[in-house]
Amino acid sequence: MLANCTVLKKMLVLLMTASMCVIPAAGACKQPPEVINDNMVHLVPTLTFFEASGYHLVTRIIDNHVYIVKNQNKSIEILLGRYSLIAIPNEIAAGIRFRHLNIRQTVEPAQNLRQPVDLVLEKLLRVLGTSQITSLVFTGIEIPIHEPIQTNQNTESLASASESTSSLSTTTTANTPNTPTKISTNHLWLTGMAINSMKWIFSHIDVSDCDLSLTIDEAWRVRALRFLNTFNPRNLINLTIRGARNLINMDCVIFTEKKVLNWLTLWEVDFVLETSEKTTRALAETRWPALTVSLTLWKTISNATDRPIVIERLTLAVLDMDDLKNCSSPPTPMKASVKTFTICLFAPNADQDSKKTLTRLFGWMAKHLTGINTISIACQNNHILPSRAGHQYLCLDPFFPDVQTINCTLGLSHYTRLYSTKSILWIGTDAYSTWALGKLNKEMSKNYKMKVVGVYIDQPMPFLPNIYTKLNPICMLCATPLHILANNTTTIPSYVGIVCEKGHMGCYPCLTKLILAKKRAKEPVTCCCGSHEIVTNGGSGVIRLGDRGAPHFVFSLTGPHTHRPL
C-alpha cells in the first residue's frame, strides 16, 4: 500500500511539472499542436526519462488529461551518465518528433549510475526506435575497445550491404538483442569520437530506410575513412568531416561507389591526403552540387580525369600562396565549370599586399575555372595582409565576365563591389562640356586610383575624352542631339552615357530600355557599333553638378539617379 502511494505521489509531481510546460489553449485562428494519442501508461515513464537530463517535454492538457505534444521543437540533450539500465524504460510514447536530440556521455558523481556505456546506450537506442529525429547527435561517446564490433554489413560494398539488410526477416517488428535498432533521422552527427565508438554506433543502428546527412566533427583521432564502409543509409545526402587533422587516407567505398549525392565537405583536415586512383577518379567524375576540400586535394581530383568537371559550389582551403604557383595545369584544356567559388587562405604570405595576393588568386582562377558568377575570398586564423585603405571596388577586366557578386576580405581591405572599364560613364548634360574639354581628367584619375583595385590592369581608368569626343554628340539609339537633351525642362536631371572609347553616347531613357530588353532576352548589351560590350553589373562612374554648381566625379552602384537604380 505504501509503495502504491509513493508511485501515485511521484506521478502527481510529474504531472504538475508537466503542466508548467503546457501549451496554452489555441486561439480561434490558430491550429492547436498535434499530440501523442499513445497509451497513457507510457506518459509518466516518458516524462520521467527526459526529466533525468533536466528537460521537460512540452505537453498539452485536453479534457483534464495531459498529452505529450508530438513535435518537440527545442534542442534536447540526454546526459548518458545519469542513467542506469533500470532507469531507462523499455518503451516511451511512440511517434514523438524531435528536432534536435544530442546524446552526450558525461561523468556523474553518483557511482551507482555508472554502468557499462555500451549496454546503457544500446537500451537507449531501442527506446528511441519509435521516434522521429530530425538531427541525432552523439557527443563524446566512448565505447570500451574490448567489446567486439558486430556488423551485418559487407565492408567491401555498400551495395551488398543494402542487399544484406533487405534480406533480413520482415515478419518480426520487435528488435532482438542481435538486431540493429531502426532509427528514423535526417542528420546523424558524431562529435569527438574514436573510430571504435563510431563503428559501434553504425553496427547498432539501422538507417537503411533513411535519406540522411552524416557529419563527423572533432575527428582528430580519425586516420582513415574505411570505417565508413559499414554505414548503410538508403541515401547519403551530404557528408561532412571536420577537424580530422590526423587523417592520412580517405579511401572508402562511399567515394568509389559515388554514394554521396549532394555535398562533400572535408574541413580542417590534413592538406595532403593519400587517395587511390580509383577514389580520385570517382571524386572527379561526380557532379557535385557542393564540394569543400583543400587546394592540394583539388589538384589531385582535377588531374584524375579527362572529362569536364562540373560543380555548383566549390570551396578550397589554401595553406600557402605557393600552393597556387605550384598547382600544375590539368591534362586537358577543359576548365572546371564552377558557379560559386570560395577560397580560404589559412597562411597567406605576410610580405605580400592585398593586390599581389588578389592577382595570384584570380590568375589561378582564370587558369583553372570557368563560368563563375559568385566569388568569396577570406583569410582565416587572423592573418593580416598589408593593404591600402579606401579601396572599395575590384576590377577583374579582362577576365571573369560572368561574375555578378563578390565578397573579398583580405586584412583591412573588404571588397563587395565590382567595377568594369566597360561600364557606362554617366554624365549630366549640364556637366558634359566640362568632361569633354578634359577639365575633370585629374579628378577622375585620382578617384580611380583611390577607389579601384585592378587585378590585371595596373590602373583601371574610365572613358576619358579623346579624339573621338564631340561637344554635341547624338544619341546612338534615338538620334537626339545633346543640346536638345540638355534643354529638358523636367525636374529630374538629364543624363547621357558614354559606352565606348569611340565616344558613342546614349541618353538615359534609351540606354535604360536597351539594358532591360537585353536582360529579358538574356543577350549581351553592346554598343551601336556592335564590337564593344557594355557591362551593367557593378559600379559605374557618374559626373554631376555638386552643391556649389561645379561638376565633380563620383562612383555609384545605382546609376546616375540614386533613387532609380538601373
**Model confidence over 73-128: pLDDT tens digits?**
999 999 998 998 999 999 999 999 999 999 999 876 654 456 789 999 999 999 99
Nearest to 184 by CA among 153, 211, 154, 222: 211
- Ramachandran area for residue 314 (φ above 0: left; ψ -120 to 50: alpha; else beta): beta
Q: DSSP label at 125?
A: H
d(CA 43, CA 14): 10
Contact 348/357 with Cβ under 8 angstroms? yes
Nearest to 101 by CA among 41, 175, 21, 186: 186
Instruction: Please provide the DSSP assignment of 73-109 as one string.
Output: EEEEEEEGGG--TTTS-S---TT-EEEEEEEE----S
Q: Which three cell numbers stand for residue 258?
A: 559515388
Residues 6+ apart with CB under 8 A from 329: 367, 368
Average pLDDT, the chain: 82
End-to-end CA distance of the chain: 83
Q: DSSP label at 159?
A: H
Percent of the chain with pLDDT over 70: 80
Tens of pLDDT, residues 458-512: 777 778 999 999 999 999 999 999 999 988 756 567 899 999 989 999 999 999 9
The dihedral of CA 474, 475, 478, 482: what is its sign? negative
Contact 251/224 with Cβ under 8 angstroms? yes
The dihedral of CA 499, 504, 506, 512: what is its sign? negative
Higher pLDDT pick, 71 / 27: 71
Question: By mean pLDDT, which of 218-222, 393-397, 413-417, 501-505 is the weakest?
Answer: 413-417
Per domain, the residue ranges of the chain are: 425-440+459-556
Q: DSSP label at 458?
A: S
Nearest to 528 by CA among 548, 510, 554, 509: 510
132, containing H or E segment: strand 132-139
